[in-house]
Chain A
Amino acid sequence: MASEAKEDVRPCDPGTSESGRMQNSIKEGDFVIFKKENILKAIQIRKNRTMFLEKMKFKLDGAIGHPYGTMFEVCNMKLVKVERKILNTEDATDKGIDNRDLHDRNLENQKLSRDEIVEMKKEGLRGQEIVDQLVENSATFKIKTEFSQEKYIKKKKKKHVSVYTILRPCTRLISDMYTNKGPARILNLRIDSLGQILSQANVRANSRVIVMENTLGLVLGAVLERLSGLGCVVSVYSGTDVHGSRPAVEVFNFTKEQLAILHHYPLHELDTVNTDIADTNPQSINTDTVTIEKKSTDIAMATASDVAMENDSDKTGIESGKDKTNENEIIKDNSKGDTTEKNEAIVAIKNTDTEQGVTKETKEKATNGDNKSKRFRYEKEEHSEKKAEWRNKVEETRKILKAGDFDSLIVASKFHPTPIVMDLIEYVAPSRPIVVFSQYKEPLMDCFSKLRSRGGVLNLRLTETWLREHQVLPGRTHPLINMSATGGYLLTATMVMRD
């Protein structure tokens, strides 16, 4: 224990020591993950853009061009690269044997006052220097045990040293990000359950997968990552989740080609997949079904009250930089054009959903004053174009879905899964797996029974995974004091031919 590897962080000139290959370096427009201990945040890199993170304000320009995995410290509102050095330091400081002489007198023990620390920060002192000062001014540090000293430094570092590692987003990090921030928004889907979903559904390149999820795009993104642009994904989305609002999918930095395999299909049109389109006017179908869908959504919204329901902007995690961005894990560039385009797209889709929607929108806008009506007329034209485009895409997806023979079905929905599963398994080929995730066991038990009585399903299993993390330190190895008590439940099965 005399020599312990310690991570030392030293500043160095930004822009030098560029060792990463081009494709490994951080580019403008990339989504990146800022990581410091268990704080993770996805941010889109833009030049001259002001960011807020942990009460700090800084610009992202300094990160551009550096390889992924580089550590940065916030210094004078800028990101400055810091060098990681692994030092085997002999612990020369005095240390105590036990805590018999330590007393709980926080205010007396630390000679530096809060104001003095704030002042030091204002003067531009680096986090590490502040920690050194705190150690020096602590009356009790020297009589603390070695372990206690280490803990003390770790705690102070966490508070005062703002060193972030910028990492390339991947399923693991994005899952960690949502989990650390509050897993309710991703239906308490823990990483081990997500891992089970991907393997039990046999997701691999060239698979054809149906995904119905309400995990902000986490499951969908994970599937797309495993396909890497090969195969086909039909994402069934519910009325409240227009296909533009899958914030997690954006964070993966998929290329256009990789996203070309992704098709969207509205949940409320599942009943018409097998309807001959030539015979029916799709508009009329829409108006009918959407009302039902809307109702069911309302019910879901009203009842699923322990699932944190947030307003749209919260849900998508997209906010303009000026707002309290700290509350969101994803920070996306909200250049004007982009936002309007997105909003328009969403409005357009809403309107395509239902004629009712159009009139509703119209009324709302009309009440806002006459000067807006002109703009609205223009928007309406835009909408009808987008509407037609979206309609065509849905019809394309309808054909893909209708063709059936999918290789797997994944449902991780906020809705009761039974109706969704019973409908979608019709498109899955025999000898293929299906996986249903729920944060509750009961709906899966119901689904289990319904599938069993339907027949044509083998290997039905209801499972849960248990996950425990351990602290492994010399002489101090034990399970972590806190652990996640639930990561959700899975229903897995294999489809076979029915008699």
Chain B
Amino acid sequence: MSFKEYRPNILDGDTVVLFMGHANMLSLKLQKGEVFQTKFGALHHDDVIGKKYGSKVRTGKGFVYVLHFTPELWTLNLPHRTQILYATDISMVTIQLDLKPGSIVVESGTGSGSLSHSIIRAIAPTGHLHTFEFHEERSKKARKEFDDHDIGEYVTVRHRDVCENGFDLEHVADAVFLDLPRPWDALVSAKTALRKEGGRLCSFSPCIEQVQKSCEKLRDLGFTEIVTLECLLRPFNVSNVSLPMPQMSSMKKRKYETDAEDCDGATKVLKQPDGNLKEDDDPQKDEVKNKGSETKNVVKDEESEIFNLRPYVDSHDAVTICGSNAKFKTGIPPTLMPGHTGYLTFATLLPYG
């Protein structure tokens, strides 16, 4: 396994992702002869070794998929030594810091290495990451992980308290990332670490008070384009929902019942898909509207007007009538979602000196 490049085949000693269903993944280091118990029964490592990445592998009572790690999958499956940054914030940091192959980046603290993996992906093979961690054991573990992941050559891990002692880097970095409880204490040294030709800086802080202090210090130090952002991920659960049609007249009930026979036959469209179409420009929509207005006038034909709308070939997002229900496809947001991770403050250092 390598975070540097994709390998086609799974080798002995690789760390792989076992995919066992939606949001049910785990990381596994393969070793010849070993057996791993999953909730779908025993997985023999030997059954996995030699297969292609992306293969389906039998277990005692079912199967799992074996995937190649990516920084995103690593973020979801890594051993937590600290709180970590997740893919949404990481993506924003990477694009806002203008990272690309060849960038020299400074990061503090290393933490669990979630962001580090993504930074390295963006800057390899010609760039370098200097990452700082004040907790000795964490920095050692991170070092080992980077080596295990075949990306050790792109990163220098240092055990150092940058707030107390600074980065000890002079005018080498294109970008600096800070995830510190007191980021303002590291800003002077961060400025020194950035190239004189200028660069970008990001500070991640959960609390607004931290952001206020950091921003003031950034302004004092001559940083420009100081921008504070919050970025959240909103997932949607794609599913077919059916709502009962209201029964607003005693005579309709019978109609619904007879209609139920049609349920799995022809689908009937109540609403046109408006994907790329502008409402006014869609003649079919107008047709539906007109029919709607007709129904008001012709009470007798009301039911047939509502339900006898001609089938539409591509009724993917239309409401279809099935028995006494209206069925439609929708993206349902979760009832609870993470509402705050942290504030991302970005700033530019223009060339000076």
* Residues of A that sit less than 8 Å from B by CB: 4-5, 7, 19-21, 24, 67-71, 84, 86, 88, 165, 170-172, 175, 191-192, 194-196, 198-200, 202, 204-206, 222, 225-228, 230, 300, 302-307, 407, 414, 416, 429-433, 440-443, 445-446, 448-449, 458-474, 477, 489, 494-497, 499
Contact = CB atoms under 8 A, between A and B. Distances in A.
Nearest to A464: B234
A449 B316 contact: yes
Contact of A496 (B67, B231, B235): B67
A449 B317 CA distance: 11
A202 B95 CA distance: 13
Contacts of B65: 458, 496
A304 to B, nearest CB: 5
Given A305-B281, A429-B54, A477-B208, A230 B125 contact: yes
B102 A228 contact: yes
B121 interface: yes
Given A199-B91, A432-B6, 4 more contacts: A302-B281, A303-B278, A445-B238, A462-B235
B72 interface: yes
B276 interface: yes
Interface in B48-83: 52-56, 65-68, 70-72
B232 interface: yes
A21 B91 contact: no
Contacts of A225: 100
A429 B216 CA distance: 49
Nearest to B337: A466
B329 A172 contact: no
Given A230-B125, A466-B232, A195 B215 contact: no
Contact of A440 (B68, B124, B276): B276
Given A172-B96, A305-B278, A496-B65, A467 B55 contact: no
Contact of B87 (A200, A304, A407, A466): A200
A469 B230 CA distance: 6
Contact of A195 (B19, B92, B232, B353): B92
A18 B149 CA distance: 43
Given A199-B90, A496-B67, A67 B197 contact: yes
Contact of A442 (B19, B94, B233, B317): B317
Given A70-B351, A198-B95, A472-B215, A204 B231 contact: no
Contact of B235 (A21, A200, A303, A463): A463
Nearest to A67: B351
A497 B56 contact: yes
A172 B175 CA distance: 14
Contacts of B228: 469-472
Contacts of B95: 171-172, 175, 191-192, 194-195, 198, 222
Contact of B236 (A171, A194, A441): A441
Contact of B101 (A200, A228, A496): A228
A412 to B, nearest CB: 14
Interface SS, A side: mixed
A495 B91 contact: no
13 contacts: A70-B351, A84-B222, A170-B100, A171-B95, A171-B98, A191-B95, A198-B91, A303-B276, A431-B52, A431-B68, A442-B275, A495-B54, A497-B52
Nearest to A88: B220
B212 A469 contact: no
Interface of B: 5-6, 8, 19, 22, 52-56, 65-68, 70-72, 87-88, 90-92, 94-96, 98, 100-102, 118, 121-122, 124-126, 196-198, 208, 211-212, 215-216, 219-220, 222, 224, 226-238, 273-278, 281-282, 316-317, 329-331, 343, 345, 350-353
Contacts of B67: 431, 458, 494, 496
Contacts of B352: 84
Contact of B234 (A205, A432, A460, A463): A463
B118 A199 contact: yes
Nearest to A24: B197
A141 to B, nearest CB: 23
B94 to A, nearest CB: 6
A69 B54 contact: no
A258 to B, nearest CB: 10
B238 A469 contact: no
B287 to A, nearest CB: 16
Contacts of A84: 222, 350, 352
> What 5 A-B pairs have minimum CB-CB distances, sorted nearest first?
A430-B54, A431-B54, A195-B91, A195-B95, A431-B53
Contacts of B8: 429
A496 B56 contact: yes
Nearest to A200: B72
B350 to A, nearest CB: 4
Contact of A474 (B66, B121, B212, B224): B212
A469 B211 CA distance: 13
B121 A202 contact: yes
Given A469-B227, A496-B65, A199 B87 contact: yes
A304 B229 contact: no
Nearest to A450: B316
Contact of B71 (A4, A199, A307, A430): A199
A199 B216 contact: no
Contacts of A7: 224
A69 B198 contact: yes
Please indicate which of the listed interface residues B227, B276, B351 has the most CB atoms of chain A within 10 Å of its own CB.
B276
A71 B53 CA distance: 51
B100 to A, nearest CB: 5
Contacts of A4: 219
Nearest to B280: A305
A88 B220 CA distance: 8
B55 A430 contact: yes
Contact of A228 (B19, B126, B235): B126
Contact of A205 (B6, B101, B197, B198): B101
Given A5-B219, A228-B102, A472-B212, A497 B55 contact: yes
A237 to B, nearest CB: 19
A121 B326 CA distance: 66
A467 B229 CA distance: 7
A461 B22 CA distance: 10
Given A230-B125, A416-B276, A202 B70 contact: yes
